[in-house]
A and B are shown apart, each in its own frame.
Chain A
Amino acid sequence: MKSSFQILEILKWQEKKMIKWDQNRCDLCGLCVCVCPENVFEMFEKYLTIDQDKCINCEKCSIICPVTALSIQSKEAVND
């Protein structure tokens, strides 16, 4: 059981983090789609759609990606 303080910390952290997709590296292999427990990803033609709101920052996608096309970064970095 997490304390309300911990939950608040997680929420604050989540607020700051986003998944960054590097389209130039991505080979569209679909492994991120399989490991994501929240079904954040969907492949559509040459694109990977990412539902950032559903992300729980478990980082499994960035760990599994064979070509380091996914990373968890601060919102500012992703929007750049």
Chain B
Amino acid sequence: MIKKSYDIVIVGGGPAGLNAAINSADKDVKVAVFEKDREIGIPVRCAEATSEEALKKYAFIDENSICTPYNKFEFVAPNKTSVEMDAESMRGFVLDRKIFEQSLARKAAQKGVEIFTRAHVLGIENDNHPLVKVLYNGEQLQVNCQLVIAADGIESRSALDFGIDTTLSLKDSEPCYQMTLVNMDIPGDTLQFLFSSEFAPGGYLWIFPKSNNMANVGLGLNGSLKKQASPRELLERFVEANFPQATMVNSTAGGVASAKNLNELVKDNFMVIGDAGRMTNGLTGGGISTALASGKFAGKKAREAILEGDTSVKKLKEFEKYWNKNIGKDYRRFYHLKEAMFKVKDEDFNNLAAKFENVPPEKVTVTKLFTTLLKRKPSLILDVTKVFAGL
């Protein structure tokens, strides 16, 4: 058995964990990241779109990882009527996530972070300080540390070791399936969202371009509405009917937590971030920006805690409060909107699209779309305005 010691151990080398590492490590704070896969960045279970603002605010823009920039949205109703929206203020990039995560890893390594791949965390004991047991290259490592940050994704079990219940209800789980298709003829600057109770009950289909010729095409549906056909079968049918000329170069299954973030994000010597903390946008399922944001906030607070020698729950609660004040608040509103969207029927989408069909793209806003869609729910309209108008 090999013994090691760090100030901070991060479980999981995705965007949340690596960004936490970048923001906590330097010569005074020793950080290790344990990633169970053999390479940083794989497998990619993601539609790969994220906003420019989030990248700038919480991490950095890595030109090499950009497949294509987007500045338009297109919403397609079940009857195929579409509404185009000029989304210059929400513009962003469809990334190559593998390249992006590897550039995060390089940055972390330059700050002195030690990254272990093929390192499977078996369990964490937490008496006075955490003891992390890791299976690495066929050997067991015993890793002592002051603080553990769990960034081990949707399948996280680390939080359980600290007594945090992470179980998701079916209605807060979105089973998804995605294919990367080539020989597509699509606008490279537009993210398309398609609504259909046939293909994606309680969710949506997405077509996110990686170029004019290639796109991530996927669907996610609400777990409580899943019927006989699986997301894979539904997507196969959709692609067959709509893109018979396309060739699949990659396919992946995945899950999104469309939940509110966990009530408890910290314990003594412990923080949980990213998908593991259920920090996804419940409405869109987007999780890259929240992973980066939670990584940054948690990393900075973890560093402060180590330097002050106080990793108590009282100290770490400052992260939880900061999160809830800055992002969690909006995300609880997204969650309420998701619940409302759940009751929207195909005909409501069709009516909405008909109303906006001839409105020029620069006049369409997300706020207008939602307020029209939810006009029978005045209590939610305030939420819509607050979230999308940035109030």
Whether A30 and B153, one on each chain, are in contact in the complex, defined by CB atoms closer than 8 angstroms, is yes
CA–CA, A68 to B226, complex, Å?
11
Whether A67 and B157, one on each chain, are in contact in the complex, defined by CB atoms closer than 8 angstroms, is no
Whether A31 and B255, one on each chain, are in contact in the complex, defined by CB atoms closer than 8 angstroms, is yes
Residues in B whose Cβ lies below 8 Å from that of A29: 45, 154-155, 252-255
Whether A63 is near chain B, meaning CB under 8 Å from some CB there, is yes
CA–CA, A63 to B255, complex, Å?
13
Residues in B whose Cβ lies below 8 Å from that of A27: 252-254
Whether B155 and A43, one on each chain, are in contact in the complex, defined by CB atoms closer than 8 angstroms, is yes
Whether B160 and A64, one on each chain, are in contact in the complex, defined by CB atoms closer than 8 angstroms, is no
Whether A34 and B253, one on each chain, are in contact in the complex, defined by CB atoms closer than 8 angstroms, is no
Whether B232 and A34, one on each chain, are in contact in the complex, defined by CB atoms closer than 8 angstroms, is no
Q: How near does chain B come to A21, taking the closest CB pair, in angstroms?
A: 14
Residues in A whose Cβ lies below 8 Å from that of B170: 35, 60, 63-64
Known: A31-B255, A34-B255. Is A66-B177 also a contact (CB below 8 A)? yes
Q: How near does chain A come to B66, taking the closest CB pair, in angstroms?
A: 26
Residues in A whose Cβ lies below 8 Å from that of B160: 39
Whether A5 is near chain B, meaning CB under 8 Å from some CB there, is no
Majority-rule SS of A interface residues: loop
CA–CA, A18 to B223, complex, Å?
22
CB < 8 Å neighbour of A66 from B43, B153, B155, B254: B254
Whether B230 and A68, one on each chain, are in contact in the complex, defined by CB atoms closer than 8 angstroms, is yes
State how many residues of chain B have any CB contact under 8 Å with chain A. Answer: 28
Whether B230 and A36, one on each chain, are in contact in the complex, defined by CB atoms closer than 8 angstroms, is no
> How many Cβ-Cβ contacts under 8 Å join chain A to chain B?
76
Q: How near does chain A come to B206, taking the closest CB pair, in angstroms?
A: 15
Residues in A whose Cβ lies below 8 Å from that of B173: 31, 34-35, 64
Whether B175 and A64, one on each chain, are in contact in the complex, defined by CB atoms closer than 8 angstroms, is yes
Whether B257 and A34, one on each chain, are in contact in the complex, defined by CB atoms closer than 8 angstroms, is yes
CA–CA, A29 to B181, complex, Å?
20
- Chain B positions 157 through 168: 1 when the CB is less than 8 Å from some CB of chain A, otherwise 0: 100100000111
Residues in A whose Cβ lies below 8 Å from that of B257: 34
Whether B154 and A30, one on each chain, are in contact in the complex, defined by CB atoms closer than 8 angstroms, is yes
Q: How near does chain B come to A45, taking the closest CB pair, in angstroms?
A: 7
Closest-by-CB residue of A relative to B175 is A66
Whether B231 is near chain A, meaning CB under 8 Å from some CB there, is yes
- Chain A positions 22 through 47: 1 when the CB is less than 8 Å from some CB of chain B, otherwise 0: 00000111110111110100111100
Known: A31-B173, A45-B120. Is A66-B167 also a contact (CB below 8 A)? no
Given contacts A35-B173, A63-B170, 14 further A-B contacts (CB under 8 A): A29-B155, A31-B154, A31-B175, A31-B255, A33-B154, A33-B157, A34-B155, A34-B168, A39-B157, A39-B160, A44-B120, A67-B231, A67-B253, A68-B230
